[in-house]
A and B are shown apart, each in its own frame.
Chain A
C-alpha cells in the first residue's frame, strides 16, 4: 500500500467532506428547480420500497418477537409481565424499528446506488449524460434521495407495526397474555414525542443512505475493482453514519422533550 503523509490525508479528508456536503445540499436544492424527474422518483421508489418490503417484514417481525421474548423473561422475574406490550411498543417505535429498517435498506440500497453510479462513472456514462445536456445530480442523485427518504418513512411504519405484531404473537402464544390487553397497553404508552422521534429518524436515515450511496458511486476510481470498493465503503459508511445520527437525534430529542 502507498504511504500518504498525514497532511495529505487530512487535506483529502476535508475535501471529501466538502464534496459530500455539496452533493447533499444540491440533492435537496434540485427538488425546487426544474426539471424535476418525477418518473425517475417513482421508479426508484418502487425499486427501494417494494424491493425492500420482504426483508423489512421479516426483520420487523423477528425483532419484535425477540424483544418480547427477552423482556418477558426479565419481567416475569419481577412479576410484571403485563408491561410487555408497553416495552415492545416503545422499543420498536422509538429505536428498533427505525434503526433496523435503516440498516437493512442501507445494506440493500446504498450498495446498489454506489455500484450502479460507480459503473456508470467508470464507463463514461456519467460524462455522456453531461455531454447530452443532462445534469446527473438532477437525473440520478435527487430522485434517489427523494425516493429513499419517502419510502424509508413508510417502511419504518410497517416495520414498527410488524414488530408489535411479532411481540403480540409471542406474548399471547407463549406467555398466555390477553391479546386485547397487549394491544391497548401498547397503544396507550405511546406519546407524541415517541412517535415524532420514531418518524423523524427514517427521514434522516433515508437521506444518509441515498447521499452516501450516490457519493461513493460518483467518486469511484479505478475500474471494476474501484466500483466494488466503493460499494463496500458505501454500506459501511452509511451504516456507521446511521448509528451516529441515531445516537445524536435520540439524545437531542430527549433533551428537548425533557424525558425522564
Chain B
C-alpha cells in the first residue's frame, strides 16, 4: 500500500451514470422563496471517486450537499443516493440512509453543549446498545486520526476553528461511511492548517476508500488532492510521481448561475478554453 498507486488512464468523470454511481442528480432545480438557486443540475459521483465542487459564494454549493442528504427537498428533478431515490422521500424514511453518509458542515455544526468526546461518539451512542466503554476505543481512534486526542473533555467553544473542523471530520467518519460530504473544510483557515485538513481528507480517501463530494473555495485543495496520495508508512501525504495519476479519480464541477458549466477531470480543466473558467482557475 505504501507504493504509489498505478497509472489509470480511463476517463472517469463526466461519464454516464451507472449502477455504481453513489450520487446521481438529474435535472435538479430548487428555489428559495421564489429566487432560483439551482436551475437544472445534473451530475453523478462514481463509486470511489472524489468530486470537487466550485463556485462563487452563494452559487448553491452547500445547497447541493444538503440535497444529497435529503436535508432539503428539490422543487424538480430526481436525486439518487447510494442507489436509492430520495427526492420525494418522507423525512422519517431518510434517517437509515443518512447513517451511511458522513457530512462535515461549513461551520462545523458541533453540538455545543456536548463535549468533544460526546460529539464524536454521537453516532455510536445513537445506534444504541453500546456501553460507554465500547465507544471509548473508536472515539480515541477517530480523534487520533485527526490528531486531537487531548481534547476529549473540552467543549467545542474551547477549540479553535481549525480544531473544530477536525472534530467535525472525526464525528462524521467514526462509522466509516461509504460517502463523505465536505462543505468548505478549509474555508477561513490559514494555509498550513488548510493543508493539514486536506491531508486528512486524502488519508480518509486512501485508507478507507471513501467516495466524496468536496466543496471548496480553494482550487489548490483539489489540485493537492489530485496530485497526492497518502503514504501510510510515513503517515503523511506524498506527491504522486510525475506521469502517474491517483488510483482515486478526481472530478471537478464548476457552478455558475444555478447551472454546471464544467464537469470533467483535471486535464480538461487546465486545458479549457472557457473564459470564465480560465479566470476562475488562474
Contact = CB atoms under 8 A, between A and B. Distances in A.
Interface string A85-129: 000000000000000000000000000000000001001110111
A3 interface: no
Given A132-B171, A133-B126, A125 B92 contact: no
A51 interface: no
A37 to B, nearest CB: 10
B107 interface: yes
A69 B171 CA distance: 60
B111 interface: yes
Contacts of B101: 131
Nearest to B69: A131
Contacts of B123: 132-133
A132 B71 contact: no
Interface string B54-83: 000000000000100101000000000000
A130 B98 contact: yes
A135 interface: yes
A35 interface: yes
A134 interface: yes
A125 B99 contact: no
B112 A127 contact: no
A123 B99 contact: no
B96 interface: yes
Contacts of B171: 132
B71 A125 contact: no
A127 B96 contact: no
Contact of B99 (A35, A129, A133, A139): A133
Given A130-B71, A131-B103, A133-B126, A123 B95 contact: no
A224 B79 CA distance: 33
B155 to A, nearest CB: 13
A129 to B, nearest CB: 8
A144 B96 CA distance: 24
Interface string A56-95: 0000000000000000000000000000000000000000
A35 B107 CA distance: 29
B105 interface: yes
B109 interface: yes
Nearest to A123: B109
Contacts of B191: none
Contacts of B103: 128, 131
A139 B122 CA distance: 12
Interface string B78-93: 0000000000000110
B128 interface: yes
B112 A123 contact: yes
Nearest to B127: A133
A131 B182 CA distance: 12
Contacts of A139: 126
Given A120-B111, A125-B109, 19 more contacts: A35-B128, A123-B107, A123-B112, A124-B105, A124-B109, A127-B71, A128-B103, A128-B111, A130-B71, A130-B91, A130-B94, A131-B101, A132-B171, A133-B123, A134-B95, A134-B122, A135-B92, A135-B95, A139-B126
Interface of B: 66, 69, 71, 91-92, 94-96, 98-99, 101, 103, 105-107, 109-112, 122-123, 126, 128, 171-172
Top 5 A-B residue pairs of the complex, sorted by shortest distance between their CB atoms:
A133-B99, A128-B109, A124-B109, A133-B98, A131-B103
29 contacts: A120-B111, A123-B107, A123-B112, A124-B105, A125-B110, A125-B111, A125-B112, A127-B71, A127-B109, A128-B103, A128-B105, A128-B109, A129-B111, A130-B91, A130-B95, A130-B98, A131-B101, A132-B99, A132-B122, A132-B123, A132-B126, A132-B171, A133-B95, A133-B98, A133-B99, A133-B123, A133-B126, A134-B95, A135-B95
